[in-house]
Structure 1
Amino acid sequence: MLNLRRIPKAKFGDYFILAARLLIGWVFFSYGLSKLREGQFGLDEAELMTPLSELSPFRISWYLFDMQPFKAFIGVSQMLCGALLIWNRTLLLGAFMFLPIVATILIIDLTFMPPPMATAFAWRLSWYIVLDLLILGHYRERMLVIWKAVWDGVGTKFKHPVWVYLTLPVVAISLEVFSPRFFFYVLTRPRELFRSIAELVGQFI
């Protein structure tokens, strides 16, 4: 017979973290898969014929979230995050990736869902966030290494004179103007591009 008292408490904690990873990993993976299988978002034919003013914000949001590539991007992101959480080698990456995604979903639910449904999902997603933070805390030694690598001694690789910093606004604006899009229009629509530039300059002259 198994003697639970002889099992170290740390082992129980490790088992709990494993269960938490499986829970939120599978939930995220399944929700992402449902988006790709047309199981989430969208309206039925009757709702599509309903005037916009008669639809609830929740149903309007489901219509908008059904648009591509948004729907596919969210679905794939959730599936990837869930898989990363379950696989040992990538669990920390998945735990980090989970936080911004679930926080965004939580805010969307609080904004568009009816109050009773929003409250239920707020409790559920908040619990998932707590579990994710416990996962990160369980591997705090690794987290401290990551934290130190990110925050300690981060800066430019070389020292620059003051006048170089003064030119930064000009260079930054040049990066915006002379982006790949600029050269694409130079090659494909030169007349349209230079006409737009002339009109823009004319507004300041």
Structure 2
Amino acid sequence: MLALLHTSQAHVLTFDRLRNEEAPTLTLYHIVAEHLLDEARRRGVLAVADQVAQQVGLAAEAGARAVLCTCSTIGALAEQAAARAGIPVLRVDRPMAAAAVAAGPRITVLAALATTLAPTTALIEEEAARAGRPVTVSAQMICGAWDRLEAGDLDGYLDRVAAALAGVTDADVVVLAQASMAPVTERGVTDIAVLASPRLGLRAAAAL
């Protein structure tokens, strides 16, 4: 059984569909804790460290063999909780970061949440150091996009992400910081390589 720690209910259906395509025999145990992202945005990411560790521990107690954290904002906290929980924990964007480093040295990160910019950039730089590859990471906030998502306007959210993606011209690869951005990869708005985290993250977590 693989536990998934979400901060949005919307991810449940997304990862169920990917499980059916990538690892149909895998049992998923979904934990939805939307308050973690709300508090991280309001009080700072470190303020929810204990709560994230508690959720990872509960997953282990429920019988999970590994945990996949699908929220980029709290992903590092989830990974840090692995030792205490006694099971592997993977942040969903780590495989994406490794793939971005392999794709080229000029990496652009598009994010809809300010709390994701620093963690995603740091993760890519960490994977670059691990691979021994020099990279230049530029990060861009998509203003107003998250407001559209919170209002229930998924199409409006994805339209803003697609517009920002179309405006990137000087990168070897574009990283979409939020898992919820993944549908934009199917729109074909750019010739630049575009990476989203859900499929890569689930595939890697299933391998654990």
TM-score, reference length from structure 2:
0.23
Bigger Rg, which one: 1
Higher RCO structure, 1 or 2 (CA under 8 Å, sep 6+): 2
Q: Would you tell me which structure has more helix in proportion to its own residues?
A: 1
Q: Would you tell me which structure has more strand in proportion to its own residues?
A: 2
